[in-house]
Structure 1
Amino acid sequence: MNRAEKIVSNAEELNPYEAPKETKTTKRPKKKKASEDDPPHDPAIDAIVFSLQKTRPWISLFGTLSFLGAVGLVVFGLYTMTSTSTSRAIGEFGAVAFIVYLILAILYAVIGTRLFRYRDGINQVIASDGRLDFIATAIERQREFWAFVGVMTVVLLSLYALIILGAIMFALGR
């Protein structure tokens, strides 16, 4: 073996003091360039994500207010029910008033829950950088919220009409 072959064979031996070298098995995949490999970013999706992001704080506010309103209704219902000894007029209807307040509190809690689900959907959209499946989920949660509010509004308007009709009939019967 000549001197040149010895130098090449020594160079191929592992040197424990040398920095590791990259080989075919240790190479990391290079990051893809966004402009070459990714599909172009749709400005409409960016606008949707931006709008959802700006809506999120308002949804959080109204969701929190819904839960606070529910707690307030329960507390006021309990106060109404326990004030039976101080007021004869309220005392006769204290339990009924508590049940009405409790039903309203449950409705407020359901509204708050749906708002927070919608907010969580928006959080997923933002975290996923606008993936369409998460956008679809967020919009579906928004639809569920508005469908519930719409049904609740129709029911309450019907109750108002019955109450007004009952009051008119009561007034005419006197």
Structure 2
Amino acid sequence: MNHLSDFENTLYVSTPGQQFLKESAKWAKFLAIVGFVTTGLIVLAAVFAGSVFGSLAATAPELNFFPTAGITITYLILAGLYFFPCLYLLQWSQKLTLALQSGSSEDLTVAFEKLKSFFRFVGIMTLVILSLYALMLIFLVLGGGLALLGTGL
């Protein structure tokens, strides 16, 4: 069996690499803060969209087809889905900055764990959205085909 010594198993980050990581942490923190602000705006939109559509439906009965609770719930779900990637980015930024300041490999490991969580969450959401697009395309093609059959073409 070939065992690596601790020296061979140690990863060193050069000074330019540390600078790149430090700058990446700053950008990640910026993007996370912008994401949290956007999440707050989505929550505000959820609260006010339900109120706006509810008052519109009261003044104009023909606009009563908007489900106000459904709109609010949809916006809140979107805000929740947007919150977690921002949280993981912020945590990665904080732990990476701490690791670079202290030289702690444990903090660096936790930072990379948060980065992995960010990419896993975004990857899963991407797969879900691509699957929904595929389903919509299938239903669109089937609906178009049924429409053509109904017209006799």
- State whether residues 81 and 98 of structure 1, in contact with CA within 8 Å, keep that contact through their aligned partners in structure 2: yes
Task: Report the counterpart of residue 108 of structure 1 in structure 2.
Answer: 82
Give the distance between the partners of 2:125 and 2:92, measured in 1 at CA.
18
Quote the sequence identity (%): 24
Q: Is the 8 A contact 1:63 1:116 kept in 2?
A: yes
Structure in which a larger fraction of residues adopt helix: 2
**SS of the counterpart of 1:44?**
coil
TM-score for both structures, normalised by structure 2: 0.72
Cα 1:49–1:113, aligned 2, differ >3 Å: closer, same or farther?
Answer: same
Residue 135 in structure 1 maps to residue 108 in structure 2: yes
Between the two structures, name the one with larger relative contact order (CA 8 Å, sep ≥ 6).
2
Residue 89 of structure 1: how far off its partner (Å): 4.3
Out of 56, 62, 66, which is 2:31 matched to? 62
Greater mean deviation of Cα atoms: 132-141 or 84-93: 84-93
Aligned to 1:152: 125
Instruction: State the AA in 1 paired with 2:31.
Output: F
Alpha carbons of 1:47 and 1:66: their partners in 2 closer, same or farther (altered >3 Å)?
same
Deviates more, 1:70-79 or 1:56-65: 70-79
Q: Structure 2: how far apart are the matches of 1:160 and 1:97?
A: 21
* Structure number, greater radius of gyration: 1
Equivalent residue letter for 1:144: S
1:54-97 CA deviation, whole Å, 9 max, x = no partner? 11121011101211121121122222211223154475322212
Quote the Cα distance in structure 1 between the aligned partners of 2:95 and 2:28: 11
Cα drift, residue 53 of structure 1:
0.4
The residue type paired with residue 122 of structure 2 is V
1:116-154: CA deviations, max 9, x gaps? 1101111211221x3333222222221111111111111
- Structure 1 length normalisation: TM-score? 0.64
- How far apart are the structure 2 equivalents of 1:160 and 1:171? 16
Matched-pair contact (CA < 8 Å) for 2:95–2:107: yes
Q: Is the 8 A contact 1:77 1:102 kept in 2?
A: yes
Q: Is the 8 A contact 1:125 1:135 kept in 2?
A: yes
Q: Distance in 2 between matches of 1:74 and 1:53?
A: 32
Counterpart amino acid of residue 52 in structure 1: L
Q: Does 1:161 align with 2:134?
A: yes
The CA deviation at 1:157 is 1.8
Q: Deviations over 1:140-174 (max 9, x none)?
A: 22111111111111112222333444455455555
RMSD, matched Cα: 2.5
Partner of 2:69: 95
Residue ranges of structure 1 left out of the alignment (5+ in a row) = 1-41
Show the 5 A alignment for 1:35-74: 44-74=13-43
